[in-house]
Amino acid sequence: MFQGMSPAKQLIDDLGRKAVKAAHRLAVCSTEAKNEALEAMANALEKQISDIVTANDRDMYAGKEGGLSEAMLDRLKLNEKRISSMAQGLREVAALPDPVGEVIKEWTRPNGLRFRKVRVPLGVVGIIFESRPNVTADAASLCLKAGNACILRGGSEAIHSNIAIAKILNETTARHGIPDHSIQMVEVTDREVVKAMARADQYLACIVPRGGYGLIRAIQEGATVPVIKHLEGICHVYVDKDADLEMARRVTINAKCQRPGVCNAMETLLVHSDVAGEFLPPLLKDLQARKVEVRGDEHVRRIGGGSVIPVTEKDFRTEWLDLILSIRIVDSLDEAVKHINTYGSHHSDSIITRDSKSAKAFLDEVDSSTVYHNASTRFTDGGEFGLGAEIGISTDRLHARGPMALEELTTYKYQVFGDGQIRE
């Protein structure tokens, strides 16, 4: 049956068949059944903390031997507190409303046909992720709640932790009437498996990759399965000439410093030339006190002096994920918008202004998934949006844009009710 297939393709073919079967049954599971399973999964993780920690110890040992950085090891590490927080995440997903079955629209045509656009699961979702083993529980729970089977492929560094977590989840779902193979962890971590997943369009509705640019681009190359990309965030704050400068200072510091290593942190600050002379000097001192390296254009350097490094065009295209900030002075709102649409990554951008006309122009013209008026870019997050948990922040335009939560893990179907209508 599998003759002529590579081992990776055989494996994905096998998992894919099983997942499709599971997905058909999962699509009609009741909300109660799914929620009970999620609660039980949370309890099971907490009860079996020592099994998870034992598996995680193996990964941590291999990671240290293999020379993983301290930051990587920290992402990999699981302890009682982190496992409890994973369990808490499952309980939060259980508490969210079930998106499946929601009637999105309903209407009747003159011929009497009644139309209902209803939310339904996507089917089988592939999640490809790197080091953090908590993604196993997060992704599995969101997929389950949205009625999707999932095929999870984690990174090799976390393989023992991932397998241990998936095993506990599967033992629990089996006891709670969730179809077998609803959650499948790929236990082989070579890149061939990723390629095979990306071409398994007869089984997978889509792939959500969570990881660095290299991983995502590698998946996209040669993929026949739709990939919902989660790429970088080159986010901007624009301080308008009519800004409340104290508010602008607070938002700027927050967007850059509160957690610089995440995709919704600011990377470039744009300041209107009318207020640059007043706004920048105290801000630059503030940034210096917080150990932020500032790179600025000539105008910024005239204001800021020797501590400001000359900024390059490449800097404007760089996601620092660090305490580094590019600053540019612009002469108009238009120039700010043009800069953001040219150098940004269409993720999250904010204007600080008291002028509602300028705010409207910025929010309409900046082509990003989230645009803010008088707020920090750091709010781009499923939780902060009120969507509950999220599977990531999509940088794509199709299907899911911005925070990707339960709704974005579904599609729809049309149910049409007639009394014998035929087309003339």
**Calpha distance 7→70 (Å, rounded):** 35
- In angstroms, what is the minimal distance from the CB of 156 to a second copy? 26
Among 11, 19, 96, 122, binds a second copy (CB under 8 A): 122
AA identity, residue 97: P
374 is an interface residue for a second copy by CB under 8 A: yes
**Calpha distance 4→396 (Å, rounded):** 35
1 is an interface residue for a second copy by CB under 8 A: no
Using the minimum distance from each CB to a second copy, give the nearer residue, 136 or 368. 368
365 is an interface residue for a second copy by CB under 8 A: yes
Three-state DSSP class for residue 88: helix
Nearest partner of 330 among 341, 339, 343, 342, judged by Cα: 339
290 is an interface residue for a second copy by CB under 8 A: no
412 is an interface residue for a second copy by CB under 8 A: yes
129 is an interface residue for a second copy by CB under 8 A: no
Among 371, 389, 393, 404, binds a second copy (CB under 8 A): 371
Q: Which residue has the tokens 């040669």?
A: 222
User: Binding marks (x or -) toward a second copy, 20..39, rule CB under 8 A?
Assistant: ----x--xx-----------
Among 10, 84, 189, 341, binds a second copy (CB under 8 A): 341
**What does DSSP say about strands 206-210 and 324-330: parallel, antiparallel, or unpaired?**
unpaired
**Calpha distance 195→14 (Å, rounded):** 15
Q: How many CA atoms lie within 13 A of 132 on its CB side?
A: 16
**What does DSSP say about strands 235-239 and 348-352: parallel, antiparallel, or unpaired?**
parallel
Using the minimum distance from each CB to a second copy, give the nearer residue, 128 or 159. 128
Binding to a second copy (CB under 8 A) within 380-399 occurs at 384-386, 396-399
Among 17, 191, 250, 285, binds a second copy (CB under 8 A): 250
If one counts every other C-beta atom within 10 angstroms of the C-beta of residue 403, the result is: 26
User: Binding marks (x or -) toward a second copy, 214..243, rule CB under 8 A?
Assistant: ------xxx-x-x-x---------------
**Calpha distance 257→288 (Å, rounded):** 11
Using the minimum distance from each CB to a second copy, give the nearer residue, 309 or 321. 321
Residue 76: both structure tokens together:
């990999």
CA distances from 284 to 51, 243, 266, 268 (A): 50, 17, 15, 14
- Residues engaged in binding a second copy (CB under 8 A): 24, 27-28, 107, 109, 113, 115, 120, 122-123, 205-206, 220-222, 224, 226, 228, 244, 247, 250-251, 253-255, 258, 341, 359, 363-365, 367-376, 378-379, 384-386, 396-399, 401-402, 411-423
